[in-house]
Amino acid sequence: LENNLPIESITVMVQKEAADRLCAEIGTRNSGAITVGVNYYGNAEKLFSVSRGNFMPSPNVDSAVIRINIDHERKLDEIQEKFFFSMVKAGFSQRRKTIANALSQIDIDKQNVYSALENMGLSKSSRIEQLDMNQLIDLSVRLGN
């Protein structure tokens, strides 16, 4: 996805649990860093489920076919994008911590995080999983400059 190849969509079959995460809405329990990544580059939709009984030998998991529709318009420049993904990865690796505490692992000063959140109208106790895509991008721009 990050290579911005001249394709409109990618259709793949993955384990059902992976499909649930890839296709989750940002801000829901199933969402994570992978959800944010997919939504940054486009959007994923679950087309249909494939039962384990359709395979021989039968695996221990169900599958789903998903399509990722690619958005070729970049939301950030290359440097901002790199920071955005490091912020998302750090935030979701400790998703139950506040954003300020989670981002301290990548040397982002807590006071800078508090200031950015306040300027965005968000609580200091916000967690990264509570932010939508626009808020995540806004936060990364504020902290990355």
Q: Indicate the class that CATH gives domain 9-70.
A: alpha beta
Q: Over the stretch 56-113, which tens digit does the pLDDT of each residue have? A: 999 999 999 999 999 988 889 999 999 999 999 999 999 889 999 999 999 999 999 9
What residues does CATH 3.40.50.150 cover in the chain? Answer: 9-70
What residues does CATH 1.10.8.100 cover in the chain? Answer: 78-144
Please name the residues in contact with 66: beta carbons below 8 A apart, sequence gap of 6 or more: 11, 12, 13, 14, 19, 22, 23, 44, 45, 46, 47
Q: Over the stretch 13-65, which tens digit does the pLDDT of each residue have? A: 999 999 999 999 998 888 999 999 999 999 999 999 999 999 999 999 999 99
**78-144: in CATH 1.10.8.100:** yes
Interaxial angle between packed helices 110-119 and 133-144, expressed in degrees from 0 to 180 and rounded to the nearest 10: 130
